[in-house]
Structure 1
Amino acid sequence: MLGKLLKYEMRATGRTLLPLFLSLLLVAGISRLLFGAGHQKWDVATVISLAVYAVIMAGMFVMTFVVMIQRFYRNLLSDEGYLMFTLPVKPWKHIVSKLLVSMMWIVVSVAVALVSIIIVNYRPGAWTKMITFSGGLGSSAHFLAFIVSALVSLAAGILLIYASIAIGHLVNRHKVLASFAGFIVLNTLTQIVGQVFRSLFHTIQVNSGHFAFAQARSELAIACAIAFMVLLSAAYFAVTNHILAKRLNLE
């Protein structure tokens, strides 16, 4: 059933986001053609093309963020929730499907943005240099750790928003305002816990003789940061799942 939820979610969100991605790449291609045709940097056509490109890129990121929130709110916590929760599906599967699809579209939007930048600034031999550079990064353990850390942090950020929205729907009135308040409280608690965690880690580094080498300290810092974000994600997920499963309020 989780697979069906993922397919449904991708189709529902793709109808909005895919045209934006294609539009950005199309405008990037037009901008590149204008440059290649010999237009000067400040020609009217070039300026207009670049302005449209910037607007679409900004709109793409904003819309990706809006769709992420809208799908969770409308699909699970509005009138649609009455239908969704009649399905023989555990609440956690709804959360996981929306989380994975949201992460996918955010990653895709970043990738599309990078590709569009490469297209606009394309020079002969640029692709070869990019592939060579990417290959060098891919072989680095630090780069792979960075990717894992970025994905875990992304999941934690999305789950923080989900938990805030779910908390906001525990009240009967002013749910949106309560969601903002929930976000502020959760984010503040996260910052406090994170600061305590960093202080403890720094104390361990200073007082321990086992981490004499910079590389070891760096690897430990990355591993601890990933572990911390995993724990945060689990906490946000648990809060959201508990509210949807035990304290759901759709009125």
Structure 2
Amino acid sequence: MLRKLLKHEVKATGRTFLPLYGALLILTIFTKVAMTIGAPDFFSDNVTTGPIAEIILGIAFTLYFVLVVALCVMTLVVIIQRFYKNLFTDEGYLMFTLPVKTWEMVFSKLVVGLMWSVVCGLMLAISGFILSLGSFSMLEVSQAISAGYADFYAQFGMSLNVILFELFLGMLVGGVASILMIYVSIAIGQLFNQHRIIAAFGAYIVITIVMQIIASVIMVVVPLANLEAYMEGIEAMNAIQWLINGTTICNVILCVLFYFGTQYIMQKHLNLE
């Protein structure tokens, strides 16, 4: 049943995102062509464009910026809308009559929301890469990457891949925690009979404030506790790794709390409109 939920969720959300991604690619190519024709040296200090080319480039970049912002906003809106509307409004009556467990409903929303967040990031990266084509050669990129890996290993005595993997894992777990934080806030908001959206927003703010207070305390206490170790010469990269991995562990804990908190409220205190 989980597979069917995931398939349905991907289809439902894909109708919104796929046209946006297609529009982003088309607009990116159009902008790149306009840059190539009207401003071949756009990324250099010597930009020579005519008034018509400047107008076309200005319109293209304005539309591009608007679309990028819209894509990011829509990703967040869809994540919120799909969870709230499908589970805590009239549609929830249908969802909870299906032979589906609560954790499957939450998990399917989470996986698809995270998937579109990752796809959004990849599409923006691809778009930026297309726009930057011509300002460098692939040989230069390859040489720069190889030199960067060699310099990193020479300075820190470890592979850059280790840090990149830890960063990727940390960002992935952080993304999951962010989505689950939205879910648990919505779940708390539905406990109220009126003004549920405002209550959910308030819950989100309260959770954010509590997390910031805890993070501030940890940042103050931990360095003091390890001051002697730092004075003995721990390398900066070790400290950075500790920060990255420590943040990832904290986000894992938050994921567990938010996930089971959401599931508990939906199982024990469900209050549909």
TM-score (normalised: structure 1) = 0.91
CA displacement 1:55-112 (0-9 Å, x = unmatched): 1111111111111100001111111111111122211111111111111111111111
Task: Please give the alpha-carbon distance, in whole angstroms, between the structure 2 residues aligned to 1:91 and 1:128.
Answer: 51
Q: Provide closer, same or farther for how the CA distance between residues 216 and 247 of structure 1 changes in structure 2, counting only shifts above 3 A.
A: same
Task: Please give the alpha-carbon distance, in whole angstroms, between the structure 2 residues aligned to 1:33 and 1:185.
Answer: 47
Q: Does residue 70 of the first structure (1) align with residue 91 of the second (2)?
A: no
Partner residue in 2 for 1:221:
243
Task: Please give the alpha-carbon distance, in whole angstroms, between the structure 2 residues aligned to 1:76 and 1:131.
Answer: 48
Higher CA-based Rg: 2
Partner residue in 2 for 1:80:
91
Partner residue in 2 for 1:165:
186
Task: Please give the alpha-carbon distance, in whole angstroms, between the structure 1 residues aligned to 2:212 and 2:135.
Answer: 46
Comparing 51-60 and 191-200, the one that deviates more: 191-200
C-alpha RMSD of matched pairs (Å): 2.3
Instruction: State the shift of 1:129 in Å.
Output: 4.5
Task: Please give the alpha-carbon distance, in whole angstroms, between the structure 2 residues aligned to 1:246 and 1:67.
Answer: 26
Partner residue in 2 for 1:31:
31
CA displacement 1:126-155 (0-9 Å, x = unmatched): 445456667867952111111111111111
Q: Provide closer, same or farther for how the CA distance between residues 124 and 217 of structure 1 changes in structure 2, counting only shifts above 3 A.
A: closer
2:100 aligned counterpart, secondary structure: coil
Q: Does residue 5 of the first structure (1) align with residue 5 of the second (2)?
A: yes
Partner residue in 2 for 1:152:
173
Give the letter for the 2:224 counterpart: T
Aligned length in residues:
251
Task: Please give the alpha-carbon distance, in whole angstroms, between the structure 2 residues aligned to 1:232 and 1:128.
Answer: 43
CA displacement 1:15-51 (0-9 Å, x = unmatched): 1011111101111101111122235375222221221
Instruction: State the shift of 1:216 in Å.
Output: 2.9
Task: Please give the alpha-carbon distance, in whole angstroms, between the structure 2 residues aligned to 1:132 and 1:104.
Answer: 32
Partner residue in 1 for 2:57:
46
Give the letter for the 1:174 counterpart: H
Partner residue in 2 for 1:105:
116
Contact kept? 1:205, 1:211, Cα under 8 Å = no
1:43 aligned counterpart, secondary structure: helix
Q: Provide closer, same or farther for how the CA distance between residues 90 and 213 of structure 1 changes in structure 2, counting only shifts above 3 A.
A: same
Give the letter for the 1:193 counterpart: I
Instruction: State the shift of 1:209 in Å.
Output: 7.6
Gaps of 5+ in 1: none
Task: Please give the alpha-carbon distance, in whole angstroms, between the structure 2 residues aligned to 1:64 and 1:174.
Answer: 24
Contact kept? 1:211, 1:217, Cα under 8 Å = no
1:37 aligned counterpart, secondary structure: helix
Partner residue in 2 for 1:243:
265
Instruction: State the shift of 1:206 in Å.
Output: 1.4
Comparing 87-96 and 62-71, the one that deviates more: 87-96
Pairwise mapping of residues 173-188 of structure 1 onto structure 2 (< 5 A)? 173-188=194-209
Gaps of 5+ in 2: 40-48, 150-158
What is the percent sequence identity of the aligned residues? 35
Contact kept? 2:38, 2:54, Cα under 8 Å = no
Task: Please give the alpha-carbon distance, in whole angstroms, between the structure 2 residues aligned to 1:180 and 1:55.
Answer: 26
